[in-house]
């Protein structure tokens, strides 16, 4: 949100880990799923899972509390 040409307020997303929609991107034939939410314009956090996990493995209590101060992306390496 732009208040004047010199002052910009970053608006926090109303989405949470549980309510944000899953988006997809494809690179070199591999489809990746991700969710992006939290405070826009801040230092982003990237949540990557381990070998046999997905973005739902992250505890929403952790991701939602960090979303108050940071924009974040939860990523699943591949989707089936």
10-residue mean pLDDT series, the chain (80 residues): 46 78 89 89 85 82 91 76
Model confidence, pTM: 0.72
Main-chain dihedrals φ then ψ at residue 24, nearest 5 degrees: -135, 150
End-to-end Cα distance, the chain = 38
């Amino acid at each position: 949100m732009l208040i004047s040409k010199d002052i910009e307020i970053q608006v926090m997303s109303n989405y949470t880990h549980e309510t944000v929609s899953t988006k997809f991107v494809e690179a070199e034939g591999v489809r990746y799923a991700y969710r992006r939410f939290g405070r826009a314009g801040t230092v982003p956090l990237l949540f990557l899972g381990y070998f046999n996990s997905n973005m739902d493995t992250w505890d929403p209590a952790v991701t939602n509390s960090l979303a108050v101060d940071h924009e974040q992306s939860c990523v699943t390496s591949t989707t089936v």
